[in-house]
């Protein structure tokens, strides 16, 4: 099935290696779903990357006030604007309500893009799957301060990103949601890349928002259920570590253990200065911030906790 080339529009002067990439395309029955909110900086890169597949690209926007919608329109994308209670609710709405006319659908975030290897191989990989396969696991390369982080548990890290239309459902969680499919999954041999290029200040502000959400979850007792047994593979292992080990440690002690596990035990130090900064911020500063907000919520009897969550 050959799907329409809905993103064959101008690049608004965007300069990137994607434009000059010489890859022979094979028809692929795939749609791409990109959730956004004020992503005018990153959106041209991800759209220029995804455009090479020649597939339908759907944008789920949560009310952007910057040029995100204008940029998406310039790439010919199909745009839906709304307000959802969580990221999982947003993606589930898209999977259930968008007029997807393909066999497969892929979620791609605004701070990600497709590698040349991914573009070259994905059609053959999808076209070769039997009816028993409902999901495709995709590897993710994390680039931070210009460096691909290969250690500290950052790689390889496969995530279920491509699912058969009508088969996927995201967990009803505010953070760290996992996607379920009824059938088998297949591990694709190529990666996508996650690279936040807005700068450390914006990266930090985004994680402050995540920390506030974690505090909201903890204070409202939304995270006490043990869910790791419902998962499989690497997702089950990661959730087990979080629910059965990390969450049992006292506040302000557990970030030290998590940083040691990532940076020392999982050899994060081998990624040089970018690895040092990443793990110091992501495995220590962020976790300390979460614990500090939880502690504050206790001494203020919830007055410091945000009152609602939406995206």
Identify the CATH number of the domain defined by range 17-195.
3.90.550.10
Task: Tell me the C-alpha distance between 195 and 221, whole Å.
Answer: 33
Closest CA to 45 of 36, 56, 22: 36
Spatial CB neighbours of 21, under 8 Å, sequence gap ≥ 6: 52, 116, 119
| pLDDT attached to residue 12 | 47
| pLDDT attached to residue 234 | 78
Dihedral of the CA atoms 122, 123, 129, 132 (nearest 10)? Answer: 80
Task: Tell me the C-alpha distance between 129 and 51, whole Å.
Answer: 23
Numbered ranges of CATH 3.90.550.10 in the chain: 17-195
pTM of the full predicted structure? 0.89
- Packing angle of the helix pair 286-299, 200-219 (nearest 10 deg): 40
With contact defined as beta carbons under 8 Å apart, do 47 and 71 qualify? yes
| pLDDT attached to residue 226 | 83
DSSP state for residue 309 in the 8-state scheme = -
Spatial CB neighbours of 228, under 8 Å, sequence gap ≥ 6: 236, 239, 240, 242, 243, 244
DSSP state for residue 119 in the 8-state scheme = H
Closest CA to 311 of 179, 169, 211, 175: 175
Which pLDDT tens digits describe the chain residue by residue (311 residues)? 323 333 433 444 454 556 545 554 667 899 999 999 999 999 999 999 999 999 999 999 999 999 999 999 999 999 999 999 999 999 999 999 999 999 999 999 999 999 999 999 999 999 999 999 999 999 999 999 999 999 999 998 899 999 999 999 999 989 999 999 999 999 999 999 999 888 999 999 999 999 999 999 999 887 677 888 888 777 888 889 999 999 999 999 999 999 999 999 999 999 999 999 999 999 999 999 999 999 999 999 999 998 887 77
């Amino acid at each position: 099935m050959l799907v329409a080339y809905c993103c064959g529009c101008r690049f608004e002067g965007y300069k990137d290696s994607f434009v000059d990439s010489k890859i022979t395309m094979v028809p692929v029955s795939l749609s791409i779903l990109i959730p956004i909110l004020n992503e005018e900086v990153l959106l041209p890169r991800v759209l220029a990357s995804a455009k090479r597949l020649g597939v339908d690209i759907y944008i789920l926007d949560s009310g952007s006030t910057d040029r995100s919608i204008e940029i998406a329109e310039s790439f010919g994308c199909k745009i839906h604007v709304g307000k959802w209670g969580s990221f999982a609710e947003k993606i589930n709405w898209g999977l259930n309500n968008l007029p997807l006319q393909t066999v497969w659908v892929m979620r791609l975030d605004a701070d990600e893009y497709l590698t040349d290897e991914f573009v070259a191989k994905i059609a053959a990989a999808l076209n070769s799957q039997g009816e028993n396969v409902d999901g495709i696991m995709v590897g993710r390369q994390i680039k931070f301060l210009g460096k691909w982080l290969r250690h500290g548990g950052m790689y390889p890290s496969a995530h279920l990103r491509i699912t058969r239309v009508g088969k996927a459902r995201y967990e009803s969680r505010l953070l760290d949601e996992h996607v379920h499919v009824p059938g088998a999954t297949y591990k694709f041999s190529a990666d996508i890349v996650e690279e936040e290029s807005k700068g450390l200040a914006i990266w930090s502000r985004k994680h402050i928002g995540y920390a506030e959400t974690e505090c909201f979850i903890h204070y409202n007792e939304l995270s006490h259920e043990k869910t790791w047994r419902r998962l499989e593979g690497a997702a089950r292992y990661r959730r087990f570590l979080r629910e059965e080990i990390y969450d049992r440690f006292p506040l302000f002690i557990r970030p030290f253990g998590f940083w040691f596990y990532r940076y020392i035990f999982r050899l994060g130090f081998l990624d040089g200065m970018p690895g040092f900064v990443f793990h110091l911020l992501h495995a220590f500063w962020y976790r300390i911030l979460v614990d500090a907000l939880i502690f504050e919520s206790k001494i203020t009897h919830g007055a410091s906790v945000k009152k609602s969550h939406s995206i």
